[in-house]
């Protein structure tokens, strides 16, 4: 009986991951193998599609995504960590109101801000500029990072902090010697999750960037109406752009649920 | 609302030393918060105020000349327009469909993963993978590699020549979203299951309760808050679904899958009705606030629960 449930779970896992496996398999096919009916399971693998994708210049799109995700993540962590500190270990007076203000900005649908953002950014001459995306992704991830970091900071035992203070540790010492060692796994998980959301963001990118600052998801837009003529090439591109997030997500998987629920579920 | 929100701090409120420093101490506490707070205020509130202002103008970007103030006319246009109403209905159907199905599947998978078996962590990794695929890549994968009538996987394996996307546009979009969001629900519900006390369950079993009774009477009530949290967070994310609509159906056929984000996108960048798009945006914000109020209540309820554990 026990073994049966394990088998069922394995089957469920394989069914769920199957489209991803199919995507990766197809990316190593020639187009005629990819578009065959019935589906071809045995084929001579080729890297042609990846070569094609690089020929069509995916590199700048990947670099733009890398820049937007990395810089916005650094900025988010730099802004959110002190803020989370001021909302947990040494709280300001109205810390609950502030926390809920942050989360309410996360709930605002991006579509309501699209037009004003577009007009403001256009007015500033910042359309199709990767730094615009850095700023917007920072604001998109800030509430999540504040809530998440706060939940990690609350795990720092108060007694240890107070003992440090009694021993004459200054603020910087207690941050470096007590707080950071405890929260650094949480900090890494927060950064990974912010990176994931920034890397995958599509709505703002498709409306505010074009040829200069286009991010990885924008590269895929060209495949929307291809009617599958380039199925293998699409799969190669999709595999390539998904890879960084797959790695980041697998690394952060133990803290994933905490980040997605803004620290509400441990 | 305020009482619900305020309750957790009675317990978490740290033993703050009496405010010795007065104003100086208060500012020292505020200082680390200010950069993030100011950043969030500027980037999120200015566009919103600007939307409010734009929503009172009669402004089509294709029409040169002035943009007269028309008060609430845009709201009247938008609210009486059947397009927005059908977009609202589609949004509710797509969101509810995706949330409900991913919740049911997520619950079943979480129950499976809550058992011990060989390779459990590998299976968990497999199961979260769909959530990590870039959403637009996932949407295109389903559109071309799975739903395609000529060489998609479904017809390829089961035969037939159904054009899944034009026959079942909503179903096709929902299936893609469910595939991506089931892992999210599973993770939240799994965390809920694992926080259940094993001794109590064991005691019930010793007292002769069968598996279904334990699930029905103990596990499900315990999971309630996690189910609520998953549903609300899922709704908040899924209400904004744009990638899947934009790439799988372009809102069609007709307006069968045009949801609010896609409709506002069309009004803005295809019809260039800036005033109307802004009014629709404001309406969406108001609707979101209503949903979010419930969401915040659930989240603070969950915090309360964590404190008491």
Q: Which of B57, B90, B153, B4 is nearest to A25 (CA)?
A: B153
- Of all residues in chain A, the one with the smallest CA distance to B161 is A37
Q: Find the mean pLDDT for residues B43-55.
A: 89
Q: What are phi and psi of B273, to 5 degrees?
A: -85, 80
Q: Is the pLDDT of residue B4 over 50?
A: no
Structure letter (DSSP) for residue A156: S
What are the chain A neighbours of B132 within 8 Å (beta carbons)? 196, 242, 245-246, 248-250
Res B94: pLDDT = 94
> Which residue of B19, B51, B137 to mutate against A (max A Cβ within 10 Å)?
B137
Report for A193-202, B1-10, B247-256: range of highest mean pLDDT: A193-202
A20-43 per-residue burial string, b: 16 or more CB within 10 A, e: under 16: bebbebbbbbbbebbbebebbeee
Res A43: pLDDT = 84
Can you say how many angstroms the Cα of residue A199 is from the centroid of all Cα atoms in its chain? 5
User: Which residue shows structure tokens 């979203």?
Assistant: B177
Res A131: pLDDT = 95
Residue B108's Cβ-side half-sphere holds a number of Cα atoms within 13 Å equal to 12
Res B138: pLDDT = 95
Query: What number of residues does chain B have?
Result: 309
**Residue A32 touches chain B, beta carbons under 8 Å:** no
For residue B234, the cross-strand partners are none
B1 — pLDDT class (breaks 50, 70, 90): very low
* Residue A108 or B238, more confident: B238
Cβ separation B242–A253 shorter than 8 A: no
Give the per-residue SS3 of chain B: CHHHHHHHHHHHCCCCCCCCCCHHHHHHHHCCCHHHHHHHHHHHHHHHHHHHHHCCECCECCCCCCCCECCCHHHHHHHHCHHHHHHHHHHHHHHHHHHHHHHHHHHHHHHHHCCCCCCHHHHHHHHHHHHHCCHHHHHHHHHHHHCCCCCCHHHHHHCCCCCHHHHCHHHHHHHHHHHHHHHHHHHHHHHHHHCCCHHHHHHHHHCCCCHHHHHHHHHHHHHHHHHHHHHHHHHHHHCCCCHHHHHHHCCCCCCCCCCHHHHHHHHHHCCCEHHHHHHHHHHHHHHHHHHHHHHHHHHHHHHHHHHHC
Res B231: pLDDT = 87
Percentage of chain B lying above the pLDDT 90 cut: 31
Both tokens of residue B233? 């967070």
Q: Is the pLDDT of residue B120 over 80?
A: yes
Res A227: pLDDT = 62
Cβ separation B127–A16 shorter than 8 A: yes
Q: Which domains are present in chain A?
A: 19-260 (1.10.3720.10)
Can you say how many angstroms the Cα of residue B90 is from the centroid of all Cα atoms in its chain? 15
> Which residue of A115, A149, A165, A214 to mutate against B (max B Cβ within 10 Å)?
A115
Percentage of chain B lying above the pLDDT 70 cut: 90
What are the chain A neighbours of B6 within 8 Å (beta carbons)? 96
Structure letter (DSSP) for residue A47: S
Quick check: bond before A200 cis, omega within 30? Answer: no
- What is the gyration radius of the CA atoms in chain A, in angstroms? 23
Q: Is the pLDDT of residue B9 over 80?
A: no
3-state helix, strand, coil in chain A (%, to 5): 75, 0, 25
B303 — pLDDT class (breaks 50, 70, 90): low
Nearest by CB to residue B153, choosing from A14, A22, A111, is A22
> Is B172:B165 a contact under the CB 8 Å cutoff?
yes
Q: Find the mean pLDDT for residues B100-128.
A: 93
For residue B69, the cross-strand partners are B57
Res B3: pLDDT = 31
Q: Find the mean pLDDT for residues B219-236.
A: 86
Both tokens of residue A22? 């199919």
Task: Rounding to the nearest 10 degrees, give the CA dihedral for residues A185, A187, A190, A196.
Answer: -80
> Is A146:B36 a contact under the CB 8 Å cutoff?
yes
Res B304: pLDDT = 61
CA distance B191 to A110: 29
Both tokens of residue A25? 């398999």
> Is B264:B91 a contact under the CB 8 Å cutoff?
no
B20 — pLDDT class (breaks 50, 70, 90): low
Q: What is chain A's pLDDT, residue by residue, as a tens digit (266 residues)?
A: 678 889 999 999 999 999 999 999 999 988 888 887 777 788 888 898 999 899 888 999 999 999 999 999 999 999 999 999 999 888 888 888 888 888 888 877 888 888 999 999 999 999 999 999 999 999 999 998 998 899 899 888 888 888 888 887 778 888 888 888 888 888 998 999 899 999 999 999 999 998 889 999 999 988 887 665 788 999 999 999 999 999 888 888 888 888 877 777 77
- Of all residues in chain A, the one with the smallest CA distance to B303 is A264
Does domain B94-273 fall into CATH 3.40.50.300? no
> Is B161:B155 a contact under the CB 8 Å cutoff?
yes
Q: What is the pTM of this model?
A: 0.88
> Which residue of B3, B16, B126 to mutate against A (max A Cβ within 10 Å)?
B126
Cβ separation B191–A265 shorter than 8 A: yes
* Residue B65 or B205, more confident: B205
Both tokens of residue B140? 């295109």
What are the pLDDT digits (tens) for B165-210? 888 999 999 999 999 999 999 999 998 898 888 888 888 888 888 8
- What is the gyration radius of the CA atoms in chain B, in angstroms? 24
Q: Is the pLDDT of residue B33 over 60?
A: yes
What are the chain B neighbours of A34 within 8 Å (beta carbons)? 151
């Amino acid at each position: 009986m026990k073994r049966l449930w394990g088998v069922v779970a394995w089957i469920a896992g394989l069914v769920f991951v199957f489209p991803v496996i199919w995507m990766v398999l197809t990316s190593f096919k020639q187009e005629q193998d990819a578009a065959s009916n019935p589906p071809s399971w045995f084929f001579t693998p080729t890297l042609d599609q990846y070569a094609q994708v690089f020929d069509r210049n995916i590199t700048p799109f990947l670099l733009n995504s890398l820049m937007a995700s990395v810089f916005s993540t650094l900025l988010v962590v730099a802004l959110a960590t002190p803020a989370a500190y001021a909302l947990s270990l040494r709280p300001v007076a109205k810390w609950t109101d502030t926390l809920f203000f942050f989360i309410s900005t996360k709930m605002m649908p991006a579509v309501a801000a699209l037009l004003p953002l577009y007009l403001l950014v256009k007015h500033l001459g910042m359309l199709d500029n990767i730094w615009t995306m850095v700023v917007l992704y920072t604001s998109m991830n800030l509430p999540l990072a504040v809530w998440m970091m706060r939940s990690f900071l609350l795990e720092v035992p108060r007694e240890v902090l107070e003992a440090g203070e009694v021993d004459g540790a200054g603020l910087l010492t207690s941050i470096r010697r007590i707080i950071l060692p405890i929260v650094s796994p949480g900090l890494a998980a927060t950064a990974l999750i912010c990176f994931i959301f920034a890397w995958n963001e599509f709505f703002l990118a498709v409306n505010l960037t074009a040829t200069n600052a286009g991010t990885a998801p924008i590269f895929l837009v060209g495949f929307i109406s291809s009617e599958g003529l380039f199925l293998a090439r699409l799969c190669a591109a999709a595999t390539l752009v998904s890879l960084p997030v797959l790695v980041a997500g697998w690394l952060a998987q133990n803290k994933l649920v905490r980040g997605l629920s803004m620290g509400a579920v441990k | 609302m305020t009482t619900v929100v305020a309750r957790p701090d009675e317990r978490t409120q740290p033993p703050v030393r009496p405010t010795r420093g007065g104003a100086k101490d208060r500012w020292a506490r505020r200082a680390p918060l200010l950069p993030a707070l100011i950043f969030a205020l500027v980037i999120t509130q200015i566009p919103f105020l600007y939307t409010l202002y734009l929503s009172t103008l009669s402004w089509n970007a294709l029409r040169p000349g002035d943009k007269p103030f028309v008060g609430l006319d845009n709201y009247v246009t938008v609210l009486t327009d059947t397009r927005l109403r059908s977009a609202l209905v589609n949004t509710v159907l797509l969101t509810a469909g995706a949330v409900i199905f991913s919740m049911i599947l997520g619950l079943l998978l979480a129950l499976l993963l809550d058992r011990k078996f060989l390779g459990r962590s590998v299976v968990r990794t497999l199961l979260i993978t769909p959530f990590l695929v870039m959403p637009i890549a996932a949407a295109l994968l389903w559109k071309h590699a799975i739903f395609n009538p000529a060489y998609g996987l479904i017809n390829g394996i089961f035969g037939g020549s159904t054009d899944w996307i034009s026959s079942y546009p909503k179903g096709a979009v929902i299936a893609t979203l469910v595939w991506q969001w089931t892992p999210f629900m599973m993770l939240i519900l799994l965390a809920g299951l694992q926080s259940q006390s094993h001794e109590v369950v064991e005691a019930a079993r010793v007292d002769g309760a069968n598996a279904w009774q334990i699930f029905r009477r103990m596990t499900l009530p315990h999971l309630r808050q996690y189910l609520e949290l998953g549903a609300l967070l899922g709704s908040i994310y899924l209400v904004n679904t744009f990638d899947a609509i934009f790439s799988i159906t372009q809102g069609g056929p007709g307006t069968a899958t045009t949801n609010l984000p896609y409709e506002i996108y069309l009004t803005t960048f295809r019809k260039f009705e800036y005033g109307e798009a802004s009014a629709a945006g404001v309406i969406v914000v108001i609707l979101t606030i209503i949903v979010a109020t419930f969401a915040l209540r659930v989240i603070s309820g969950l915090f309360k629960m964590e404190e008491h554990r």
